[in-house]
């Protein structure tokens, strides 16, 4: 099946007709449809299909137990109203690259696997890359069991309802020991390739990043009758924290975003009792990230005190800086550079990926495909089909160089 047909098949799955964006959240019906599609692609190619203890899907060519496997793939879930490419481009390109290699008559000397890592975006339970974090032990089974979604459904309940067994969640060192290299192809989430005029690039590093929850607790009261001086309105220090985040990030050359809030009681004519807000912040290095988040928290605490509001801050996830393994990265740039007859760009990113999580346990690398506007995590995310096909060939070249004679 061509890249075009696979892409067209997956395109309607989990798409909101209202926004045009995707709502493929972990363990929902849309996620199940994406997983069924993956299984179908694996089986129709005669690949050995399996789901690991953390719900990640695998499609194997060759004997997994032989070890030193070359693994490629990405994720199929999305952020709320995400684009079509973040995740699925890597999975569809992996199957298409295998087809291309078979068409070339490639002879594999190492096992090859295609993976779909579960719950990469953390849109439902808050933890990004939950599937790969569980596998590497960066998220423990106990922590995973305590996660709940906005409706109070726990992660184990959601898994069970989707037909998976949550009692098996946990680290998977045996599976990791089978992997010799993981290569993830991903749509670029910036404009570096557009500016350099290249369809494909290789990743150098991922900025450190984390997510923090700010609970501002005040006092619910009547919006019409409560004098301003008598209010303990948590929306006010929250608003100051948003501005502080912008200022701290600007000063440090970092980014900081309050992109999600939940308000109680959430009434148009009620002063809120609680504003719960999530901060996502990323920076070129860990000390800078620490400075930014400490600065935001300090400002938020000061403003909370001024307005008579209590503030509790908790870190929900943290991913240290990832410097992709130089030997594998250099191998990729050599393979692609030789094919292209010119050097391929090597670029860093502020976005998180399963390749970043897995890099703690196995050598990992990434390929990026040009995104002309750089927009991502939005329905406007885009890559031209010609560039996607160039990405497939680049991935096939890389896999051939790593896994074939």
Near Mn ion in 194-223, by CB under 5 A: none
Q: Is 280 in the site for Mn ion (CB under 5 A)?
A: no
Q: Which residue is it, tokens 């996660």?
A: 147
Near ligand GLV in 124-183, by CB under 6 A: 128
Q: Helix, strand or coil for residue 383?
A: coil
Sequence-distant (≥ 6) Cβ neighbours of residue 67 within 8 angstroms? 111, 177, 178, 180
Binder of residue 352, out of Mn ion, ligand GLV, none (CB less than 5 to 8 A by kind): ligand GLV
Q: How far is the CB of 208 from ligand GLV (least distance, A)?
A: 12
Q: Judged by CB, which is closer to Mn ion: 73, or 237? A: 73
Near ligand GLV in 270-299, by CB under 6 A: none
Binder of residue 87, out of Mn ion, ligand GLV, none (CB less than 5 to 8 A by kind): Mn ion
Near ligand GLV in 189-248, by CB under 6 A: none
Provide Rg for the chain, Cα atoms: 22
Q: Judged by CB, which is closer to Mn ion: 87, or 234? A: 87
Number of residues that bind Mn ion (CB under 5 A): 2
From the centroid of its chain, how far is CA 117?
10
Binder of residue 128, out of ligand GLV, Mn ion, none (CB less than 5 to 8 A by kind): ligand GLV
Bridge partners of residue 202, in order along the sequence? 346, 367
Near Mn ion in 69-128, by CB under 5 A: 86-87
Q: How far is the CB of 265 from ligand GLV (least distance, A)?
A: 30
Q: Among 201, 352, 356, 363, which residue sits at the site for ligand GLV (rule: CB under 6 A)?
A: 352
Q: Is 121 in the site for ligand GLV (CB under 6 A)?
A: yes
Q: 22 near 86, Cβ under 8 Å?
A: no
How far is the C-alpha of 48 from the C-alpha of 155, rounded, in Å? 27
Q: Is 351 in the site for ligand GLV (CB under 6 A)?
A: yes
How far is the C-alpha of 264 from the C-alpha of 350, rounded, in Å? 32
Helices (H) and strands (E) in the chain, counts: 13, 15
Q: Is 255 in the site for ligand GLV (CB under 6 A)?
A: no
Binder of residue 201, out of Mn ion, ligand GLV, none (CB less than 5 to 8 A by kind): none
Provide the H-helix boundaries in 324-379.
326-340, 354-358
Provide the H-helix boundaries in 222-320.
235-252, 286-306
Q: Judged by CB, which is closer to Mn ion: 86, or 233? A: 86
How far is the C-alpha of 372 from the C-alpha of 387, rounded, in Å? 10
Q: How far is the CB of 383 from ligand GLV (least distance, A)?
A: 15
Q: How far is the CB of 120 from Mn ion (least distance, A)?
A: 6
Instruction: Output the DSSP codes for 51-77.
Output: E-TTS-EEEEES-GGG--EEEEEE---
How far is the C-alpha of 341 from the C-alpha of 234, rounded, in Å? 59
Task: Output the residue with the shortest Cβ distance to Mn ion.
Answer: 86
Both tokens of 366, joined, read 């990434």
Q: Is 187 in the site for ligand GLV (CB under 6 A)?
A: no
Footprint on this chain of ligand GLV (rule: CB under 6 A) = 121, 128, 351-352
Footprint on this chain of Mn ion (rule: CB under 5 A) = 86-87
């Amino acid at each position: 099946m061509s890249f075009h047909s696979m892409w067209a098949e997956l395109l309607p799955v989990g798409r909101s007709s209202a926004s045009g964006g995707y709502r493929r959240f972990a363990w929902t019906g849309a996620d199940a449809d994406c997983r069924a599609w993956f299984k179908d692609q694996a089986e129709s190619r005669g690949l050995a299909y399996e789901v690991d203890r953390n719900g990640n899907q695998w499609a194997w060519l060759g004997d997994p137990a032989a070890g030193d496997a070359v693994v490629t793939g990405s994720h199929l879930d999305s952020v709320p109203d995400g684009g079509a490419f973040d995740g699925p481009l890597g999975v569809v390109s992996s199957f298409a690259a295998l087809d291309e290699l078979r068409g070339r008559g490639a002879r594999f000397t190492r096992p090859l696997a295609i993976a779909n890592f579960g719950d990469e975006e953390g849109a439902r339970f808050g933890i990004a890359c939950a599937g790969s974090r569980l596998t590497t032990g960066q998220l423990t089974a106990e922590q995973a069991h305590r996660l709940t979604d906005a409706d109070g459904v726990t992660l184990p309940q959601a898994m069970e309802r989707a037909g998976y067994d949550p009692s098996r969640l946990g680290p998977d060192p045996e599976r990791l020991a089978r992997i010799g290299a993981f290569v993830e192809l991903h749509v670029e989430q910036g404009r570096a390739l557009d500016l350099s005029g290249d369809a494909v690039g290789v990743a150098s590093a991922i900025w450190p990043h984390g997510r923090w929850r700010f609970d501002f607790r005040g006092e619910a009261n009547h919006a019409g009758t409560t004098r301003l001086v008598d209010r303990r309105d948590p929306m006010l220090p929250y608003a100051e924290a948003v501005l502080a985040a912008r200022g701290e990030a600007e000063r440090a050359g970092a980014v900081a975003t309050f992109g999600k809030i939940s308000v109680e009681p959430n009434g148009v004519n009620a002063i809120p009792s609680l504003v719960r807000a999530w901060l996502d912040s990323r920076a070129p290095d860990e000390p800078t990230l620490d400075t930014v988040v400490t600065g935001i928290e300090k400002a938020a605490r000061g403003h909370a005190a001024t307005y008579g509001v209590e503030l509790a801050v908790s870190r929900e996830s943290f991913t240290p800086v990832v410097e992709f393994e130089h030997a594998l990265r250099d191998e990729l740039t050599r393979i692609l550079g030789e094919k292209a007859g010119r050097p391929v760009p090597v670029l860093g990113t502020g976005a998180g990926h399963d390749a970043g999580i897995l890099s703690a346990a196995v050598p990992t690398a990434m390929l990026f495909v040009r995104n002309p506007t750089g927009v991502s995590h939005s329905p406007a995310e885009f890559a031209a089909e010609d560039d996607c096909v160039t990405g497939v060939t680049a991935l096939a070249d890389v896999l051939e160089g790593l896994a074939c004679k």
